[in-house]
A and B are shown apart, each in its own frame.
Chain A
């Protein structure tokens, strides 16, 4: 095994081009487990820790450019207002020690259906900035997950950053597990209200071969909210609408039975989380509407 230690992003891209089988290592919280247990013996490890840019973020007009190696702890502490869904999701990852090392780049690299960043990224709307010596491209988050633990990266590409849309409305993240800390999701659900475009977006984790959006449920809810004038009148979402939304979210799942839970439990739990996160975000939307109207 060789340990490659590029000091800059350009050096890292050159190393990856020269050794396409090299395994990048950022926080190491996925890679080291595999090496410690002899599940993986890469020819080359490509250390990204020395590339400082990867641990930085920039808050822009429309979106946050989040460096691939920004640890979850930093997201929780610094980006709560801009990326509430991702900050909530980050807080549910493992433990403080793991959150101090692991980040979204590694979560995307592993592309596990159970990765907690994915539902939040799907719901918020995001693009993955990847680069190789050939050039750089932005992959829409919906096109990033290509199979169980597979993603759209080419062999010579590295993830530079994720561009996540800044929240224009309330966002929530919910996760089912046996305890609060150190839990891989049985299933998870992210929801973001986008009052600017009068749309709702979702993300489902651990209930299909890849993280997915519940697109039919989103379309149904978008239409129902529009039709009932809910965005303007700020009324409570009708229980029948919430129920239909929840059922459609369950239907978007394609889960399996495994040690963490059964397929039917997952389908059921996703429906429950969909209804709850809709209620929480909608209540908060109504609350902010009231205060802004009251102030006007």
Chain B
């Protein structure tokens, strides 16, 4: 399909909010919208199959269990994990990363060890490692990116050494939108006997991710950024690692048996899922995965790229607009962060809002990166495949009036 035909398809019809609200929703990195089928799947769970999964011994409880466990299998296939035991449901990316930090990090690291991460990480892939460092005496080392957001192989090679125990990196950064060299990082981590933790929050919704091909040890992502419900997230971990790790949270449903003095933990993956789980959320995520597959990553990637190009080239023509990161649109995976000379990002967001354009402004939970690049607060537009050329044109039209409306050049 050529791009024009592709861009002509109306996907907003699947999304009730986008159908009914007259806004250009361009804050998809923060959270996506949800299609009707996801909302229906979640509500159908409560309306027809609701019982406490994994516990009850009656028909309804088994249906609830099936719904939950089928969702796990859907996730397993979606990221091509070897086994469903490697899929742990959490609340979100942040919780998934904390699970690895608390369980793997605290029990495997000691003073003198190093955790290698990058300066562009979301705070969720930075603060858990600092916690591990503070408690174990390990050191967190930051790989710096160039002004265009790139991380060189040389920088990776220099940072990852025999002292390295964990390499933590986002596959796509949430500010610069650039695809990071995670395969290379994973390879180098394995060479020195370290594990690689990949933050897939901004990649999994937008491109095919295959954990066997990349050989990542852990992968974290959130349902709510991939058209699924809020409150459901995923941690993938290699079975041989998960098996040896201690539980993260303790309580009901994560044990085989408990006596007065001792207990045996449940096998994977339930060892890591203490307490009543978010089964309806998992069922909603299952529907989201089915939906993504019905659209197809080919279409998703092609539409997002085409829209990124239009937005990027339009922005380059507007005086006073500065794009952060790479000056090639191909190197922005649907995310364009920018500033406007003389206009504070919060004013930018407010004026966009008046024009029905939703974008994010501030530090995007990545303050060290913005300090490193020397930009301070910025504005960010982020696309999803359901966005349209009209959304981007509305964004550009508003953007081109911004300086004048703030009183410049009158």
Is this pair of chains taken from one and the same complex?
no
Task: Give me the interface of B with A, judged by CB distance under 8 Å.
Answer: none
Task: Give me the interface of A with B, judged by CB distance under 8 Å.
Answer: none
